[in-house]
Amino acid sequence: MQGERALYSTTMISTAFVFIGAGIGGALRHGINVVSPRWFGMGFPYGTMAINIIGSALMGLVAGWFAFRAGEGVPQDLRLFLATGVLGGFTTFSAFSLDAVLLWERGETMLAATYVIGSVVLSLAALLGGLAMMRSMS
């Protein structure tokens, strides 16, 4: 019983770190989406592109720091807060980028290509399907 409580407590704390981080990341994303049309106009999704590029660069820095600089001394809650929370709330594209590069670095070139092409094509198809379903209901 005590082991279950400890696991529950640990899970709740980890979830709180992700929740707070995601709020921060989402607020940052919103800020960029508000500012970018004012600076660059609305003819191109500059904000989204900037978010994806910045988020991917930050994910590379964070993942690299965890892997090469911090060693085993990085608490799991910090990893969850920064990578899953802040960067996940900022953009999931950063996680996508990291996963694709990790596959490629492991020599899984075909899997990496399948992941990239499949994710992009199937995500676009899913969005089109969702739009089509909603249009048919109106």
User: According to the annotation, is 91 in a ligand binding site?
Assistant: yes
User: According to the annotation, is 31 in a ligand binding site?
Assistant: no
71: left (phi over 0), alpha (psi -120 to 50) or beta: left
Element (H, E) at 32: helix 2-40
pLDDT tens-digit profile, the chain (138 residues): 666 776 667 889 999 999 999 999 999 999 999 999 999 998 888 998 999 999 999 998 988 888 887 667 778 899 999 999 999 999 878 888 989 999 999 999 999 999 999 999 998 998 898 888 888 987
**pTM score of the predicted model:** 0.74
